[in-house]
Structure 1
Amino acid sequence: PEESLHDFAGRLLDHKMFGAIVRNQIGEVVGVITEHDMVREAFQKKAHLYDITVADAMTEHVITCDDSTDLAEALALMGKHRIRHLVVQDGTKVLGFVSIKDILEKIHADEQLEISVLRDMAGMHGGV
């Protein structure tokens, strides 16, 4: 949380990440931060990234879901809380986080697979 946004942004770029779960010294989740949060904070404060900490820009109210949460339920949670990321847990263990983009890409891939299977089946039976 005490890291400057400048240093944090460099780590995000190095690891090709768009955000991260923020933990305190004892490993407790204290927030989530994304590129969007960093840009918003820098713009609102009219400050340089060296002068803003991760704690300043992060979202403190973390919404979580279980690793068994289905995609529709996860999307509903995001809509209800007007957020784009959910922290995914297995009980009390934090596994990572998922974005609305991740979920929509998965739904799209599943739909494309279903369409492909249906086309193949229709072709086997001489059309429908």
Structure 2
Amino acid sequence: MSVQGILKEKGCGVITAPPKATVAEACRLLHDNHIGAIVVVDEQNSIRGIFTERDVVSVIASSGASALGEDLQHVMWKNVHCCTKDTSINGLMEAMNRHKARHLPVQANGRLAGIISIGDVVRHHIRAIEYEAEYIRSYIAG
């Protein structure tokens, strides 16, 4: 299975924010949507950065409460690691592990096309193991 399969199951919706949104606004989006990352996009839906729960902790630890008024463009992670709809699950796990990323935006034709979280990958992996175990049980039972 590839990223495309995961997106078919979970959908392609992504919570986004513009670069000029504040940290406080981003925190509200994270909280209200029960998510761990927001993709920062421009008017053309091109990925400009990502802002995660880890970034909230980092910016407040370094700047205090005044960081809540900062624009995302100043505190977001700009070197965003992305995947494509054709990325394999193994490739996805490898990229997440290598970059220590819990979220990878999906990019298609230079635009945001979805997001994959580590939870999505784990759910897929568990289902694959359960399917394999059931197949082996059926084969043994004959």
Establish whether residue 23 from structure 1 lines up as the match of residue 21 from structure 2: no
> Alpha carbons of 1:31 and 1:64: their partners in 2 closer, same or farther (altered >3 Å)?
same
Instruction: Select the residue among 71, 92, 100 that pairs with 2:110.
Output: 92
Report the alpha carbon displacement of residue 101 of structure 1 after superposing the two structures with TM: 2.7
Deviations 1:88-115 (A, max 9, x none): 1233332122122321221122111211
Q: Which has the higher contact order (CA 8 A, sep 6+)?
A: 2
Deviations 1:40-89 (A, max 9, x none): 21112223453333223311001121101101111222233332222212
Structure 2 unaligned residues grouped into runs of 5+: 1-18
3-state DSSP of counterpart to 1:64: coil
CA distance in 1, matches of 2:128, 2:134: 10
Establish whether residue 83 from structure 1 lines up as the match of residue 96 from structure 2: no
Identity %: 22
> Alpha carbons of 1:91 and 1:17: their partners in 2 closer, same or farther (altered >3 Å)?
same
Segments ≥4 residues shifted beyond 6 Å: none
Deviations 1:11-38 (A, max 9, x none): 2222232211101244331101111211
CA RMSD of aligned residues (A): 2.0
Q: How many residues align?
A: 124
CA distance in 1, matches of 2:29, 2:94: 31
Structure 1 unaligned residues grouped into runs of 5+: none
Task: Specify the alignment match of 1:103 in structure 2.
Answer: 121
TM superposition score normalised by structure 2: 0.74
